[in-house]
Structure 1
Amino acid sequence: MTHPPILTDRTALDRFRARASAMDNPALFLQQDAADEIHERLMEVNRTFTTPAIVSGFPQVWGNLLPGIRHVADGDVLNLQEGAHDLVIHAMCLHWSNDPVGQLVQCRRALQPDGLFLGVLFGGGTLQELRAALAEAEATLTGGLSPRVAPMAELRDLGGLLQRAGFALPVADGAARTVTYPSPLHLMQDLRAMGEGNALDQRHRAIPPRALFPMAAQLYHQAHGLPDGRIPATFETIFMTGWAPDDSQPQPLKPGSAQIPLEDALNRLRNKERD
């Protein structure tokens, strides 16, 4: 039996989240933005959920999203009972998962038939500027690279992950938000206050070269600096929707069951356009 590679040092990640939560002013604005968007999407669903559950590392943001919602701590194994919920939300932590498909499967199994899954996570465009600046600086100084920003899933791949996990009617969409900072140092301080520090299991534990972060900051400004002296940071947020399979859901037609050939249907559309 093969196991997925270990991406995340869970002990470090839990420590970073606890440190951010204990701050007087944690930088949880992206968590709150995601929670607001999830709330809006739920309002568009014509259904009242009576047994919702949410997987999150920050219950102070997500815990009051719906009445009676059950908070489940983020981890490799989720404390979810099979078939116990009509709604499961995976909130801003799937990008740290060692086994994303396994997480989605656990959520699907926890749903009742025709139950709704909503997921939100950081996508592959997140921190692309910082990632490039750190990589260039480290390659220049040491001739090599070490993992400093977590790899994140691309939007085009996530619909397939939902299908692999057994969800019906899978949909993934996303949007990028640009946040500006006085300097890359201020950005890294904000990441610390988000609980999004470097928790990669393969990160270098040694103290980095003293010149690394000053050089990365200089490269960041050179490549992306704004006219007012600030720097932009991209955060891509991806939303996932899927349903636990149920016979009441729309089903694809069987091959060969169409009433008219595809060519005839296309010809009719062309004729309507000409008319």
Structure 2
Amino acid sequence: MTMSIRPIDPASRPFFAAEVSGIDITRPLSGEQAGAIERGMDQYGVLVFHDQRFDDDTQLAFSGHFGELEEASGDLNWGKKRRIGSALVNDISNLDNDNQVLARDNRRRLFSLGNRLWHSDSSFKAVPAKFSLLSARLIPSAGGNTEFADMRAGYDTLDDETKAEIEDLVCEHSQLYSRSLLGFSDFTDEDRERFKPVLQRLVRRHPSTGQRSLYLASHAGAIVGWPVPEARALLRDLIEHATQRRFVYAHGWRQWDLVMWDNRSTMHRARPFDAGQVRDMHRTTVACERSTMAEAA
């Protein structure tokens, strides 16, 4: 087989989101294959691989080709017994430790509803995420899509005055803020300490391509040096601009899809599905080499 990477919508979005074929990524990769995938990520931001029957070990092995993996510390279950054994695999499911569907009012489920807001993975960590890799183990019969927005296009289509205004701005990111947008406030003192705000640049330059992009997320609740209402109004306007339909790819999941995206140049959000059906997704996350503040320096 020969690996091929082709845009999913060459007519409307030839620059964003591509499908990869001709490769079984559950098997060991050559350095050449891993390099081609990383170049595809640089070009398209989102790559879709169909029919990749991963278990956690093979997903971890594949993910490790692209950098150091971060621990799954962004949920309320951190430090407690988990359904998934490895601390390097995020449990993006609606299941409890006995593989039963969580009740609608379950605290962990309510916290996870924040994933339906536009965000970039781990922007609430001082060193945020580089790549996310999400494997669809079980999916509901309808709904539960994931939408991706191209933040490079979002930046490129801003007017020059706005680009100049935001070039050096620094935001505070925290899951305390994103969850508050949905009315979730059931945090322990330990949670509040772990989710203290961190600083992130609002405009990033991609280390491989040099392209600028907006670095936005529902986690961003303040801009350093700005009054909070004015900061949130600007961030809301920028998210609205960057998530226009022409910049968005909506992925309809099939079982055993693996979707890989670059958090440095995209945002994403999950869409609703029947709360009584199982949606079991396993995510591995490659960390950036340094913080956005260090990147700028």
TM-score (norm 1): 0.26
- Which one has a larger percent strand, Structure 1 or Structure 2? 2
- Which one has a larger percent helix, Structure 1 or Structure 2? 1
Q: Based on CA coordinates, which of the two structures has the bigger radius of gyration? A: 1
TM-score (norm 2): 0.25
